[in-house]
Amino acid sequence: MAFISVSEEVAKKSFTSVENKFITKYLPVLEPVAVKVYLYSLYLYQSGQTSFTLADLSASLQITEDEIKGYFEYLEELELVSIVSAIPFEVKILDAENVYGTPKKVKAEKYSDFAKTVQNVIKGRMISTNEFREYFYLIEEYGFEQDALVMIINYCVNLKGDDIRLQYIKKVAKSFAEDGITTAKKVDEKLSAYTSSTPALIKLFNAAGIKKQPDVDDDKYFKKWTVEMGFEEPAIIAAAKLFKAKTVERIDAALDELYKNKKFDVKEIADYSSAKSSVYAATLEIAKNLGVYMQNSAPYVETYVNVWCNYGYSLEILKSISAYCFTHGKNSFEDMNDLIQCLYNDGIVADISVEAYIKERIAEDKLLKEILAACGLTRKVIDWDRQSLARWRDWKFNDIMLFEAAKLSSGKSNPMAYMNGILSAWKSQNIYSPEKIAQTPASSAKIAPADSANKAEIERHYFELRNAAQTRAESVLLKAMADKTYGAIRKELNELNIQLAFAEIKDKGKAAEISAKIKELEQNADKRLAQLKIDKADFSPKYQCKICNDTGYDKNGNPCKCMDEFLKTLK
């Protein structure tokens, strides 16, 4: 029989869960009252008693509030809890698996000389038994040489004074250990290297108005900025001032932003800072033009507008593009980005070339509106119309011939499709002027591949084929995007593709990193699609006829073979 068991009645009751590691490694060495405080705290959290106060805990355990605070500080030293607020007093229970604070039996006499040295270093107060125990753990858990840890403690005291908290010393010591610096020689080298950067940090702190002495953590940031990112000291100081960064963390965030936007020189940083407010204002106007509501504009600035500006587009022309996008049914930043990528790939960047492009597209829409009217239609211009116009231009038809075909199509069941058939027939007969239309005998002027009685059936047939294929593809894509995992991957891929276009010009190394990440994400996306049992090929319309893509006409404008087959079914 087991050493301990429980009755059936006990098994049915509620319980408070305690980590096994707390029981096996903490419980044997913790002060008894500290165990009571810890367990009662676990009970309060797990039972959902959120209104319980420090005073209530004092009454329940029959000890004073100050004593409870003292025990929580003791538990914090062992990293079992974290005091997140002094007023009001709030505590967060931490993971008992945290190896850093795991207590174990240590023979104090083994470290008697070390303890005397540390007490001489921290002269302003008596070091408690628990604090000494923590230092012993650091030596045994991380392999610190005793002299190495003394040097770290001495450094911390010189930096913060005799009232320095144990938590800060542990934090610094762990950061050294993470870098493999646990011997006296390596600690000395580390502190010497840090000392060499101290004057630059002091200069930076004075310029930024940071009221503290630099420490090892600050030195790590400084090495990141200068060595890894390549910023020079004047640029770092300029960034701190212009971004009004009053902490090292905010300076780091500012430099991350500048690094991402390839701004390293003092002048570049100043220009970027002064333009930043303009960029945010322009982003709001772009969103307004697109009809997009932004709760927070920062992601749109970072993901889109800054990237477009780095391509060379001015804020004014971006506003014009956004207005153009709205009138053409492109009502999102993603849609606008697709257009800008096309423009950029075609080398259309300067204001004058973009304005010419927009002017040309507006003129084409105006022409299409007039053609629709000539066909007897009053609807809006759609993308299919624009694609048709591009195809007719490729067939070398001028505006006059387009209107001639439109007149002949007026009154038909599907005028635009009928017009496509007329122009295809004219192309096959080399008819490119109104005079040739008049000169061509009616019997031989095949303006359509079938008689007018069949024309409506042909138009309806191909419209339904195209629409069915496109609808199927859209539904598959929507199903995939509705999955949170796949949708998140596709969003990240879109953002990375934007970054890649910029990196390929500015930073080949960065471009290679982004390409590798894109490849990895695409593999993850394919795996997720496989889990969803979705074929990525189904995102594209699967037309029944691969020659004409269900339009009825091949790339040369001639009736497709599939149309002959369909005509046979009509007969």
Q: Which of 242, 225, 241 is nearest to 233 (CA)?
A: 225
User: Which pLDDT belongs to residue 104?
Assistant: 52
Per-residue pLDDT tens for 119-145?
Answer: 988 887 888 877 888 888 888 888 899
In the predicted structure, residue 112 carries a pLDDT above the cut 70: yes
- Own/partner contacts of 223-229, CB < 8 Å, gap of 24 or more, are 223/197, 224/252, 225/251, 225/252, 225/255, 229/255, 229/259
| Dihedrals phi, psi of 90, to nearest 5 degrees | -135, 140
Per-residue pLDDT tens for 269-308?
Answer: 888 887 777 888 889 899 988 888 888 888 888 889 988 9
**DSSP summary character for residue 537:** G
Q: Tell me which CATH code domain 16-100 carries.
A: 1.10.10
In the predicted structure, residue 471 carries a pLDDT above the cut 70: yes
Per-residue pLDDT tens for 403-419?
Answer: 988 888 887 767 887 78
Indicate the SS3 state at residue 7.
coil
Q: Which helix (H) or strand (E) holds 219?
A: helix 216-223
- Let me know: does 63 contact 36? Beta carbons within 8 Å: no
In the predicted structure, residue 11 carries a pLDDT above the cut 50: yes
**DSSP summary character for residue 558:** P
Per-residue pLDDT tens for 363-404?
Answer: 888 899 998 888 888 888 877 788 888 888 888 889 899 998
Q: How far apart are CA 444 and CA 436, in angstroms?
A: 12
Write the Ramachandran bin of 440: left for phi over 0, alpha for psi from -120 to 50, otherwise beta: beta
- Please name the residues in contact with 351: beta carbons below 8 A apart, sequence gap of 6 or more: 314, 316, 317
Q: How far apart are CA 53 and CA 64, in angstroms?
A: 13
The gap between the terminal CA atoms of the chain, to the nearest Å, is: 90
- Please name the residues in contact with 495: beta carbons below 8 A apart, sequence gap of 6 or more: 303
| Dihedrals phi, psi of 161, to nearest 5 degrees | 100, 170
User: Which pLDDT belongs to residue 448?
Assistant: 45
User: Which pLDDT belongs to residue 456?
Assistant: 60
User: Which pLDDT belongs to residue 434?
Assistant: 84
With cut-offs at 50, 70 and 90, classify the pLDDT of residue 437: confident
User: Which pLDDT belongs to residue 236?
Assistant: 92
User: Which pLDDT belongs to residue 449?
Assistant: 44
| Dihedrals phi, psi of 97, to nearest 5 degrees | -75, -5
**DSSP summary character for residue 559:** B
Per-residue pLDDT tens for 40-87?
Answer: 988 888 887 777 888 888 888 998 888 888 888 878 777 788 887 777
Q: Is the pTM of this model over 0.85?
A: no
Q: How far apart are CA 404 and CA 507, in angstroms?
A: 54
Radius of gyration of the chain (CA): 37
In the predicted structure, residue 193 carries a pLDDT above the cut 80: no
| Interval 455-481 mean pLDDT | 78
With cut-offs at 50, 70 and 90, classify the pLDDT of residue 235: very high
Q: How far apart are CA 560 and CA 545, in angstroms?
A: 9
**Cis-peptide, bond into residue 559, ω within 30° of zero:** no
**DSSP summary character for residue 111:** G
Q: How far apart are CA 229 and CA 508, in angstroms?
A: 15
Weakest mean pLDDT among 83-92, 225-234, 259-268 = 83-92
Helix 315-327 to helix 333-345 angle (10° resolution) is 110
